[in-house]
Each structure stands twice: as C-alpha cells, then as structure tokens.
Amino acid sequence: MKRKLVIVLGLGIACAVQADLSLGQTIGIDFGSIAPAAGLNFNSYSDVTIANGATESFGGTLIDTGGNAVSGVVFSVQNLSGQATGRATASPGTEGAGLMTDSTVYSDWLISNSTSGEPLDPGGYFVFTFTGLDDDLAYDLTGGFDSNNNNFDAIWSADGQSVTTSPSGDGGYATLEGLATDGSGNLEIAVARNTLHVTAAGLTLTAVTPPLPSMEPGDVICVDFGTTVPGIGNYNIINSGALSITNLVRFSDGEILAVGLDVTATNPFDGAGCIASTAGLANINDTDADVYADTFLSAYTAGADNDIITLTFTGLDDSLYYDLSG
C-alpha cells in the first residue's frame, strides 16, 4: 500500500497517513483516565462512562505504535454489560503482556462493575469493534487486565476463537491469532464477564499475514514422483533431491495449503521408463508421460532394510477422512 506524506505548513508537522492498517503495524488502545506515557504511541480511550446499550467511538484519528496516523480505521466500544461503565481511575492493575508493560497502560481500566444491588447481566459483555481494516490481512489481538483477583476473569472472543483470562493466575492477558475480518473491513471483539466484572485495561491489534487454508472436503492433492515436472496440472514433486514439501498445493487451482509431506527411504533413487497405468485410479493422469513415465524408489542395497518408503502428511484435519490413490 502506498503511503502519502501530508505536510501541515502552518504547524510545521509532517506525518505518515494511511487508509488502513498495513502488514506488520500495530494499534494500541489504552483504557482508563490515565493517559499513556509519551513514546508508547497508544491511543487513549479515556471515555470511561458508557451507558448500558450505548456505543461510543474513539474521538480522533488512531495512530499505530510508530506514531503514524491510521486515518481509515475507526475503533468503538459498545457496552452490553447491563450497567453503565465507570470507576476507571488508578487500580491494582499489574503488568500486562506484549506492549502493555507500562503502568500508564495497565494500572487503569474500563470496567462495568458488579456491585450489591446493581448486578451485571449474567452474560454481560463489551464489544470492541475495528472498522476500515484490510480484508486481505489477518490480525493478532492481545488484551486483558491483570490484578491477581479472579473477580476480573474475562472471556475474549473474536472470529470464532475464544480464550479465558485468569488474573489470579498471572494470566490476565491473552492473545488470539490469525483473526479475519467479516469481509467488509470489520473485526468485532467480545469481552464477557467470567465471574463478576467486565474489565479491560488495554489491547493491541497487529496486522499479520493470513494463515494458509487447510485441506477441506473435496480438495485433491496430487504428488508426482520423479524428476520430470508435468507440463499441465498443479502437481507436488517428490524425488531423491526433494523429500519434503512444507506446503502442498491444491490440484484444482494451485492454492498453497497448510498441509505438508515428508518422505523417508533408505536409499532414495529416481527411476524412469514406466508405462501408462490402466487401473483408472481416481485423480491420477494416466495419459501424461510427464506424470507416469518417471518414478521414485528406495534402491536395493545389500544388507539394508530398504523395502519401505514412508509418506507422512502433516497438518490434516483430524475430523475428516481421506481417500488415497496411488
């Protein structure tokens, strides 16, 4: 993504401006009335009183942790806890995870407090929403609050992932990785009470490379053994000089998958001179000589146990079943 340089002549200030969060960049949000220390480049969300059912957005342009304005991204908080938020001044918060190691970030908080006569809804929660994100990227989220008190345990959820923090066990902060947007640039993060209160001291969101897709029902992976690369089709090539493939490709479109293949053989050897198969096995091309004419074997060595070649696929979904033709 191209960056533009905007110069404000009257103030003599220059800053990098971008439409959305680029790969490798991080936005930090500090909740509470204490402003984050200079140089941290956290965004101070100091509006600590939010009525139940209300949604309030960050007032101003967000910056990343390098101090660059991220003008296309908006952050908001919706309070669905059952009570208005409040009491966000200095607290017994302790050092957090990742970038949240400064007391100006971790010591104050956004809280919906369950008190006598004013209990929260049983499933009360906050919704933190980022809009204007790049749908082609994934996002790592770290957030929480730590106080060595399990009254502040919380459940952080986003994009089908969920993790429960446990401040009493020095685990008040947690990370969700590889989160995807909803396809329209939005990422919703729910923070729900696990015991008494709904609380957050801070969070960071980092744009990362999306994880590779896994093998799904209907996907076909084809492996061609030997040194000749087929002229057609998306084959994965295994031979004596390449016994391992970290990420196999899907035959239909060449999409790289989060599935690997490791091959072991006592004496790897590349052969040739094979004839076309007439067995009609599924997904095997018996008309392309580039596929069937060369081969791979464990060559005979006197005194060696060399009659087994082992193929190990990694990264498969344990909940699925697989058909093998060869």
Closest Cα to residue 27, out of 71, 57, 90?
Answer: 71
Radius of gyration of the chain (CA): 27
The predicted structure's pLDDT at residue 320: 92
User: Nearest to residue 282, comparing CAs of 228, 231, 323?
Assistant: 323
Q: Hey, what are 50's tokens?
A: 């939010």
Half-sphere exposure of 193 (CA within 13 A, CB side): 22
Written as tens digits, the pLDDT of the chain (326 aa) is 333 333 233 333 334 444 579 999 999 999 888 889 888 999 999 877 888 899 999 888 999 999 999 999 999 999 998 888 875 444 556 666 677 778 778 778 788 775 545 566 677 899 999 999 999 999 999 998 887 777 778 899 999 999 988 755 557 888 999 999 999 999 999 998 777 778 888 999 999 999 888 899 999 998 988 888 888 889 998 888 888 999 999 999 999 999 999 998 888 877 776 766 655 566 676 667 777 777 777 766 666 665 688 889 999 999 999 998 87
Report the pLDDT value the prediction gives residue 185, as an integer from 0 to 100. 96
C-alpha span between 270 and 67 (Å, rounded): 56
For 70, phi and psi rounded to 5 degrees? -115, 80
Asked whether 208 and 159 are in contact (CB, 8 A), the reply is no
Distances (CA, A) of 294 to 144, 263, 273: 57, 17, 6
Q: Which tokens sit at 111?
A: 């809280």
At residue 278, the pLDDT reads: 58
Choose among 124, 201, 112, 126: nearest CA to 158: 126
Cα 94 to Cα 155: distance, rounded to the nearest angstrom? 19
| Beta-carbon count within 10 A of 128 CB | 24
pLDDT of residue 94: 66
> Model pTM greater than 0.85?
no
Cα(214)–Cα(250) distance, rounded to whole angstroms? Answer: 10
C-alpha dihedral, 57 to 60 to 62 to 66, nearest 10°: -150
133 DSSP 8-state letter = -
